[in-house]
Chains A and B, each alone.
Chain A
C-alpha cells in the first residue's frame, strides 16, 4: 500500500515537474481562459444584473474550456520517446499511474482556477469572497470530477489520430452533470448566499459523481492501457 502511494506521488511529481518546466499546457490554458473571459463580455452586457444570475455558469465554462487543454496533454506527453511503454512495463500498477496523473492534473487545474477566479471577479464586478469555504469545497469537488473524466479520456484516446479534435466531443457530454452541479452551486455562492436546503442535493450529486467515476476509472484503467 505504501509502495502504491509512493509510486503514485512519484508519477504526480514527475508530471508536475515537467509541466512546470515547459509550461506548455498551463500557458495555453491560461491564455485561453483570458480570451474566453474577454469574449463573454461581448455576448451580454457585463454590468447588468443578469451577469450575477449566470456568473456560476460562466465561471465553470471558463474552467471547463481551459481545463480540457491541460487534461488533453496528460497522457499525450508520454507519447514522446515511447515513455508510456516504459511506464506500463514497469511494476507501477495502472491505478497508481492513473491516480498520479490525475493528481498532477488536479493541482494544475486548481492552480489555473485560482488565477481565473480573481480576474473573473474584477472583470465582471463579482464579489466572490463571500462564502470562501463553500466555494473552495465546490471547486475541489467539481474540479476532481472534471479531472477524473478528462484523465480517463486522455488515456483512452492517447493512440488515436485526430485526438485533439475528438476529445471535446467525448469529454464534455460526460462532464455535464458535474459541471451543471458546480454551476448551480457557484451562482448563489458568488452572490454570498450559503448553501442550504434543496441545494445540498447538488453537493451530493457532485460527491456521487466523483466517487463513481473515480471507481470506474481505477477499475478500467488497465483495460484501457494494456491491449
Chain B
C-alpha cells in the first residue's frame, strides 16, 4: 500500500520557487532519508507533508486520502526542531493533552504507557520546566509516538538529541518500521540515517536530484550520493 504520494509539489515564496516539481511515492514500511544541503527545501517539504504548510501547486496524498482531509492528520507523527511540549504543564498533563486532542480511546492509559516506555513515570507530575534537557527530549519523542502514527515525519531528529534520546528514538523507529510503519526523515547525520534508511530522496536547490533505494555504496561512502547526483 502506498503510504505517501507526493504529486508534483511546488512551493513559492513570492516568485521564488522553494520547491520545484517534487514527486515521489513512498510505500508503507519504507524508511526514507530526505537529504540535501541547507536551503535545499527539506524543511519546507516536511512542513507540507505534516500539514503545516500548503503546496502552491500539486498535492499530497496520505494513505490514498487527500492531505487536506483533517482526519489524515491522526496518521502522522511529527518531530520538528522544537520539543513541542508545554513547559508549564507536567509530563503527564502534556501527554494526556495530546492523547485527548488525537481523540484516543483512553487518554490516561496512553499517557501512562508512554511515560513508562520513556522512563519518565517517576517524574510524571513534575512540570516540564524543571526537566533536564534529556528528559524533555524523551518526552518530545513520547509525544510524537503517542497516537501510534503510521507515518513519522522527522526533521533533523538526531541533531538536538542526547545519546539516550537517540537510542530511544532509534529503537522506536525500528519497532515502528517492523510493524509496517513508514518513516521520512531529513538529516545531516548521514551515517545514522543511512543505517536506518531503505530509500533516499536527494533535494538540490528545491528540485529532485535523486530518489531510489539506499544502495550499498551509499552506506559504505556517505559522500557518494552527493558526488554522483549533487552539484558538489
Contact = CB atoms under 8 A, between A and B. Distances in A.
- Physical contact A–B (CB less than 8 Å): yes
Interface of A: 3, 6-7, 10-11, 14, 17-18, 21-22, 80-83, 85-93, 226-227
Contacts of A22: 88
A132 B80 CA distance: 50
A6 B84 contact: no
B88 A88 contact: no
Given A18-B86, A81-B86, A91 B74 contact: yes
Contact of B89 (A10, A14, A89, A91): A14
Interface of B: 50-54, 70-71, 73-74, 76, 78, 80-89, 93, 97-98, 100-103, 127, 143
Contacts of A10: 97, 100-101
Nearest to A14: B97
Given A91-B103, A93-B70, A82 B87 contact: no
A227 B53 CA distance: 5
Contacts, number: 81
B143 A17 contact: no
8 contacts: A3-B103, A14-B97, A81-B82, A85-B84, A86-B98, A89-B50, A91-B70, A91-B102
B2 to A, nearest CB: 21
Contacts of B78: 85-86, 89
Most A CB contacts (10 A, CB to CB) among B51, B70, B88 go to B88
Given A18-B89, A83-B82, A91-B102, A227 B54 contact: yes
Contacts of B143: 86
Contact of A7 (B54, B80, B83, B101): B101
Contacts of A227: 52-54
Contacts of B100: 6-7, 10
Given A10-B100, A90-B98, A226-B52, A85 B71 contact: no
Contacts of B85: 81, 83, 86
